[in-house]
Structure 1
Amino acid sequence: MSKLDKLLRELCPNGVEYKRIGDFAMCFPGATPKTTHPEYWENGTIPWMSSGEVNQEEVTFTEKKITQKGYDETSTKMVPVGTVVIALAGQGKTRGKVAITRIPLCTNQSLCAIVVDETVISKYLFHYLRSQYARIREISSGDGTRGGLNLKMIKAYVVPVPPIEVQEEIVRILDSYTEKIDELIQNLMTEITARNTQYGYYRDKLLKAETNAHKYKLGEIATVTKLAGFEFTNYVTYSENGNIIALRGLNVKNGRLDLHDVKYVDKSDFSKLERSKLHIGDMLFTYVGTVGQVAIVEEEDKYYLAPNVALIRCDKEVLLPQYMKYYFQTTQFWDKQIRRLLQSSSMQNIPMEKIRKFEIAVPPLDVQNRIVNVLDNFEKICADLNIGLPAEIEARQKQYEYYRDKLLTFAETGNTILSRAEQSRAEQSRAEQSRAEQSRAEQSTD
């Protein structure tokens, strides 16, 4: 018999009492000082938490800070360490997510701070409310994407409140799971970093200028261009759906295309955008903001150029696009060309005429092919690790969620403080949770 089973038998022989959050906790929102008042924000020292920062889960920092004046002249309140915070609103999946604070801070009005009394351990409540994410979103007002929670809903939400000793043991068990997940992430990240360092070393060694390599200025062997401002303003129409993607700077990362966040341009005037149509083998180069990211286009009739990204279309009888991509990622190319240009500029950008003057050492095509094949294989190993990381973490996360939900499901005591209607809703909620657990168990077995 486990320690938890023993505690439940000894301390909860007749079940566990269910209480509304408002019966054992203070619940209050924050506020946002006016951004039009710089004296509320400039050189601020008080951490100010925004809705999206619940994704930290354990909040150890905030992106923004407010001044004492900003705090004094708004209704935001200081939230003590160990407070459970839940997002009342937010885009996408934010609404209903919970976090626990590890520093004193204040919050915006779209967050509800839940400060528990001595009958509840805040970390226990944190774990429980994480298990209730789907249910909490269901009770939100409004439709699925624009709905919102409010203080009344949070205070009325019913949770099981076992004795403190039981809560402590549940927290210990669940924290051990999350610690193992954190350790796994750290180990895998260390492995990925080591592989990427090794890959970078061999890439730089392979791409050092050979004696039989010919040096060209990029403009001599490639077309270098961009989408003009008037073209974007007059002819480009962004939309959230479609088939033709405008590749922006955020879509070009670490040598490949990142299509997690894309804009479509199907309704644009393509007759005026022929120059920015992208073809297989075209290389993209970010020249504003995050400068120097590259990626190769590998599909036809799917992509157009967006602002702040340069198109480099090389003469394939002289230079292979993949070789060019790898060359642009080498340490020596960065140190001698990109970084030097950025240091001499007051803005993080490189003009087209400077890009055309980049020097590139080009060996014969057969040598380029051999180098590309070696680096492609090495890059695939690194990519497989990057794919394996989220898959392994997801598997461990599902395991944590399964045991969390099992641990946080209790028989209800007859001495409940809830009304009959509330008891019925609570029983229905637990029945739904039980069915979900059974479904997850069956999927795990499959």
Structure 2
Amino acid sequence: MKEQQEKYNLPRGWIWVTIGDIAILSSGGTPDRGNRSYFNGDIPWVKSGELNHGIIISTEENITLEALENSSAKIVPSGTLLIALYGSTVGKLAFLGIDAATNQAIAALKTTNSFKSKYLYYYLLHNRERLLQKRVGGAQPNISQKILEVFPIPLSSLQEQDIIVHQIESLFSKLDEAEKGLKKANNSLGIYRLGLLKSAFNGVLTKNWREDLVNDAYQELTDIKIDRKKKYEIENKKDKKIKIDYEFDYKRDDIINSWAVSSLDNLININARIGWRGLTKKEYTHEGALFLSVHSLNYGKNVVFKDVNFISIERYNESPEIKLKENDILLCKDGAGIGKVGIIKKLPDIATVNSSLLVIDSREIFNPDFLYYFFLGPDIQRLVNEKISGSAIPHLFQKDIKKFKLKVPPKLEQDKIVEILESRFTLVDNLEKTVDNVLNEIIVLKHSILKKAFEGRLVNYNSNESVENLLTTIQEEKRLYLENQKKLNYSKPKQKKQMEEKKSLLDILKESSSPISAQELWEKSTSEGDIERFYSEIKEIYHQIDELKTETESLLTIKDENK
């Protein structure tokens, strides 16, 4: 029934066949990773991550002839269509522009002279979602060679295939050109944003507006320093232990006389959770204090409080320095989201943050929005990029931020800078949304073109060629090709292959010094590219293994019997 739902009425003269009817399918293999010499050869070896809808003319790794002879890897000829079977790239396609071997996470689909390989390419591109629905397996479901072999495809005459491919590529070429221009426009808008922020914080943005301004940032900082010292002395007499916050250095800016220059240390408050204070995910609750992570910074300027965790009021009260309030700025200091920034404009309930976020209070010196844009701007983001490129685990320390020097405009000019930035950013946001909408429309239009193509509605063509006869010709060409390959293999000098030691999945896991991914386990297994067989073996031993989930993948390891 499901197979019938996948099919639809075809134009007169077309017939339904399967991919196995019109293509020769094979999969590759991975030589023993323990033998490093296997990967020092000159035979290109393609991994599934290298498939990205283009033509492969070079590979990240090369293997030796010995590696080829002692594994299930095999040479696939140039021009062959490849499709990824496994992992995050499942369903992605590419053509070989060179003779190469592949790993077992790739299926090679070789077509004959009587079938257009690009016709198959565009059909699979159009049907990727349908293929994904057929995935099987556990943590990382995959498609298999068997699934591909029985996948239905409409067969039209060879000449009509040629016309369809030509029309698709002609229309796609125009859309690709438009897409290229739109992406260039989006990139220009991003550059314009950075330019605006740069001109805001070096004084260019408000240069003309500032001419009649009498306010002076140096004097404002002097007054704030005096007021803070008075407050400290009063509180100190009451035996209240408060932090000394009036010891900050500043000077008049050399270029803009009404601006000052200072480091952020003591000007503002910067706090973070000190470690986790023993806090674990097991302590998350269904109510209590909102507990924010970097995910709340994924929605633009304003911090969003959806899909957050909760912790108990007791845990919330342990860290009063990071209890959130309106106009606090949150900056991600580590992990994949390092450098992301947001501002709290509306606080729905009491809230705090996890250890990945810095909480920044602009105090009386800065307009909070001005400080938000400063952290979004090129100076701080340059610091973030230095941390990303300089370390395997990038991290922003509080001291990195506190020692950062910046130009400080008078408060009134800060307000004006925010007003100008938000006015222009609103325009940029609207333009970006328009561009994104058109880019999405191009994606939809491409799907529509492919849908019409394989329903026989893209071109008007009446063929006198019998598609049944074409299928017979394809089948005969396949038979002759396979026979020829068999003869070639038979005529090759017999190589004495080293016997690979066949190890069970349990043995592989036991010998591994650390948890390994399902893909690595598959590469080392004896499943020989049969993903269904691999998962069948996994099921048999699942009670003996632990599955450890990271942000990007699942890792497998033997259960610790002592636990």
TM-score normalised by L of structure 1: 0.71
Alignment of 1:288-327 (within 5 A): 288=334, 293-298=339-344, 299-301=346-348, 305-315=353-363, 317-327=364-374
Match of 1:234 among 279, 298, 313: 279
**Which residue in the other structure is 1:50 paired with?**
48
Deviation at 1:385, TM superposition (A): 3.3
CA contact (8 A) 1:245 1:264 kept: no
Residue 327 of structure 2 corresponds to: 281
2:449 alignment counterpart: 403
In the TM superposition, what whole-angstrom CA distance separates every residue of 1:410-446 from its partner, at most 9, and x where no partner exists? 599794899xxxxxxxxxxxxxxxxxxxxxxxxxxxx
Contact 1:120 1:161 in 2 (8 A): no
TM-superposed deviation, 1:371: 0.5
Tell me which residue corresponds to 1:27. 25
Q: Aligned partners of 1:148, 1:346: CA distance in 2, in Å? A: 31
Residue 16 of structure 1 aligns with which residue? 14
Superposed CA offset, 1:87-120 (max 9, x none)? 43435xx54x341225445544333221111121
- Which residue in the other structure is 2:82 paired with? 85
Moved more, 179-188 or 97-106: 97-106
Shift in Å at residue 170 of structure 1? 0.7
The one-letter code of the counterpart of 2:280 is: Y
Deviation at 1:171, TM superposition (A): 0.8
Letter in 2 for 1:165: Q
1:366 matched to 2:412? The reply is: yes
Measure the CA separation in 2 of the matches of 1:43 and 1:366. 67
Which of 146, 149, 171 aligns to 1:155? It is: 149
Return 5+ residue gaps in structure 2 as ranges: 1-9, 204-255, 458-464, 472-563
Tell me which of 174, 189, 198 is aligned to 1:195.
Answer: 189
Q: d(CA) in 1 for partners of 2:56 and 2:402?
A: 45
Counterpart CA distance in 2 for 1:67 and 1:406 is 42
**Counterpart residue number, 2:163:** 169
Name the SS of the counterpart of 1:115 in structure 2: strand
The structure-2 alpha-carbon separation of the partners of 1:217 and 1:405, relative to structure 1 and needing over 3 Å to count, comes to: same
What is the CA RMSD across the aligned residues, in angstroms?
4.5
For residue 508 of structure 2, what is the aligned residue in structure 1? none
Structure 1 stretch displaced more, 161-170 or 343-352: 343-352
Instruction: Indicate the SS of the match to 1:124.
Output: helix
| 1:44–1:66 Cα contact (<8 Å) kept | yes
Among candidates 120, 123, 129, match of residue 125 of structure 1: 120
Secondary structure at the aligned position of 2:202 is classed as coil
Is the Cα contact below 8 Å between 1:141 and 1:149 reproduced in 2? yes
Q: Which runs of structure 2 are paired with 1:110-121 in the superposition (5 Å)? A: 110-121=105-116
Q: Partner letter of residue 21 of structure 1?
A: I
Kept after mapping to 2: 8 A contact 1:98/1:126: no
Q: Secondary structure at the match of 2:29?
A: coil
Deviations 1:315-357 (A, max 9, x none): 1x2112321232234445667x777889999985443223211
| Superposed displacement of residue 78, structure 1 | 4.3
1:204 is matched with: 198
What corresponds to 1:442 in structure 2? none
Query: Residues of 2 paired with 1:344 and 1:160: CA distance?
Result: 53
Contact 2:84/2:105 (<8 A) preserved: yes
Shift of 1:296: 1.6
Letter in 2 for 1:391: N
Deviation of 1:229 (Å): 3.2
Q: Distance in 1 between matches of 2:280 and 2:402?
A: 26
Would the aligned equivalents of 1:49 and 1:62 in 2 still touch at CA under 8 Å? no
Go from structure 1 to structure 2 and tell me whether the alpha carbon gap of 1:367 and 1:14 turns closer, same or farther (over 3 Å shift): closer
Unaligned runs of 5+ in 1: 1-11, 419-446
Counting only pairs closer than 5 Å after superposition, residues 323-342 of structure 1 correspond to structure 2 as: 323-331=370-378
Is the 8 Å Cα contact of residues 238 and 263 (structure 1) preserved in structure 2? no
In structure 1, distance between residues paired with 2:75 and 2:441: 37
Q: What are the Cα deviations for residues 203-250 of structure 1, in whole angstroms up to 9, with x where unaligned?
A: 32232154222333212122223333344x6334599x99967433x8
Which residue, 248, 252, 272 being the options, matches 2:315? 272
Judged with a 3 Å threshold, the aligned counterparts in structure 2 of structure 1 residues 60 and 344 are, in CA distance, closer, same or farther, namely closer
Query: What do residues 114-135 of structure 1 show as CA deviations (whole Å, max 9, x unaligned)?
Result: 1111121111101112333344
For the residues of structure 1 that align with 2:267 and 2:186, how far apart are their CA atoms? 35
User: Which residue number corresponds to residue 438 of structure 1?
Assistant: none
Contact kept in structure 2, 1:26 and 1:114, CA below 8 Å: yes
Q: Percent identity?
A: 19
Question: Structure 2: which amino acid aligns with 1:221?
Answer: L
Distance 1:86 1:195, change over 3 A: same
Aligned counterparts of 2:43 and 2:195: Cα–Cα separation in 1: 42
Alpha-carbon offset, residue 61 of structure 1: 8.0
Work out the CA distance in 2 between the residues paired with 1:171 and 1:247. 48
The alignment covers a number of residue pairs equal to 394
The residue type paired with residue 108 of structure 2 is A
CA gap 1:77/1:374 in 2 versus in 1, 3 angstroms:
farther
The higher radius of gyration belongs to 2
Looking at structure 2, the residues matched to 272 and 360 of structure 1 have their Cα atoms a distance apart, in angstroms, of: 35
Q: Which amino acid aligns with 2:431?
A: L
Query: Are the aligned partners of 2:370 and 2:417 in contact in 1 as well (CA < 8 Å)?
Result: yes
Cα distance in 1, alignment partners of residues 134 and 386 from structure 2: 56
**Matched residue of 2:452: which SS?**
helix
